[in-house]
Amino acid sequence: MKVYVIGFTPQEVEELKKILGMEVLCIPEYCRDWVLASIVSQEKLEGRSDWHFRKFIIIHGATNEEIKKILGAVKRKFKNVIFATTTPTSLTWRLEDLLNELIREDEYFKNLRMRRGPYLEL
């Protein structure tokens, strides 16, 4: 299992490593035109992740239980993080396209929750 981050400062990345108890890999800006499968196949990526105005966590190769633990731990500490897991389809997407789609989906669900009322805010 691998956990990738975008939009987190170096200090926040260190904090994520502590709360998750595992390696957290930064996706640097030079990868924005890469296909996601190329990114997850790399042994090492060098650079900072704080190039994007939004925060993303992309989880690759995790079980449902591992995903639940990661989401719970991160949500207790950080707000407004967009989470994604890799799928056969997402692995074929360019990173920039995937991030844009994740932002669109996040905005859609935020608007949907606001229309239904704040009592459903998760």
pTM: 0.90
Q: Is the pLDDT of residue 122 over 70?
A: no
Segment 27-38 mean pLDDT: 98
Question: Is the distance from CB of 25 to CB of 45 less than 8 angstroms?
Answer: yes
Segment 43-68 mean pLDDT: 97
Share of the chain above pLDDT 90, in %: 87
- DSSP symbols for 70-117: HHHHHHHH-SSEEEEE--TTGGGSBHHHHHHHHHHHHHHHHHHHHHH-
Question: Is the distance from CB of 47 to CB of 29 less than 8 angstroms?
Answer: yes
Domain that holds residue 94: 2-120
Number of domains in the chain: 1
Phi/psi at 2 (nearest 5 deg)?
Answer: -130, 145
